[in-house]
């Protein structure tokens, strides 16, 4: 079988990332490793890893913000808050199936909690000092399907 050799346009990465990804996949499938765009592949993989880490931090922050509102304003609880807590917990659990992202979530807990406290204070009108100075949640509690702090 004769393989058709094509040259990948060096500008394709900047012009159409999806088409570039398709072309990189095709080259890998065909075993044409010498034609891969290693520079951009490295850049793309690093960007993907950063996106994954930012997504985990964002989910942690949103989840803890809503948990704080849930716990510190029980008379204002809404189904929307409950839904957000559930969704963020489920999505975070999915993200943390990868050991690397779980370790990142654990390492990001303090930073994400600090952001969540600021956001919860603004959303509730409560003082930042109302909330615990240190994160009261473990990652396992945040990943559970229950409502931490709602005993």
Per-residue pLDDT of the chain (151 residues; tens, 9 = 90+): 455 555 667 688 888 889 999 999 999 999 999 999 999 999 999 999 999 999 999 999 999 999 999 999 999 999 999 999 999 999 999 999 878 999 999 999 999 999 999 999 999 999 999 999 999 999 999 998 666 544 4
Tokens of 123: 């959303």
Alpha carbon distance 116, 88 (integer Å): 13
Those residues with Cβ within 8 angstroms of residue 102's Cβ, 6 or more apart along the chain or in another chain: 96, 139
Alpha carbon distance 42, 6 (integer Å): 21
pLDDT score at 151: 40
pLDDT score at 147: 61
Alpha carbon distance 140, 93 (integer Å): 9
pLDDT score at 5: 53
Tokens of 2: 């004769």
59 touches 88 (CB < 8 A): yes
End-to-end CA distance of the chain: 67
66 touches 84 (CB < 8 A): yes
Q: Which residue has the tokens 């603004």?
A: 122
pLDDT score at 9: 72
Tokens of 76: 């204002």
């Amino acid at each position: 079988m004769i393989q058709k050799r094509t040259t990948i346009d060096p500008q394709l990465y900047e012009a159409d990332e999806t088409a570039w990804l398709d072309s990189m996949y095709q080259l890998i499938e065909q075993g044409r490793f010498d034609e891969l765009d290693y520079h951009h592949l490295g850049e793309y993989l690093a960007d993907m890893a950063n996106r994954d880490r930012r997504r985990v931090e964002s989910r942690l922050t949103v989840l803890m913000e809503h948990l704080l509102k849930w716990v510190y304003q029980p008379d204002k609880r809404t189904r929307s808050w409950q839904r957000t807590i559930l969704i963020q917990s489920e999505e975070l659990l999915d993200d943390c199936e990868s050991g690397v992202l779980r370790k990142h979530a654990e390492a990001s807990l303090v930073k994400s909690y600090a952001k969540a406290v600021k956001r919860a204070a603004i959303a509730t009108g409560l003082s930042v000092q109302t909330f615990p100075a240190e994160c009261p949640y473990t990652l396992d509690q945040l990943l559970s399907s229950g409502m931490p702090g709602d005993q």
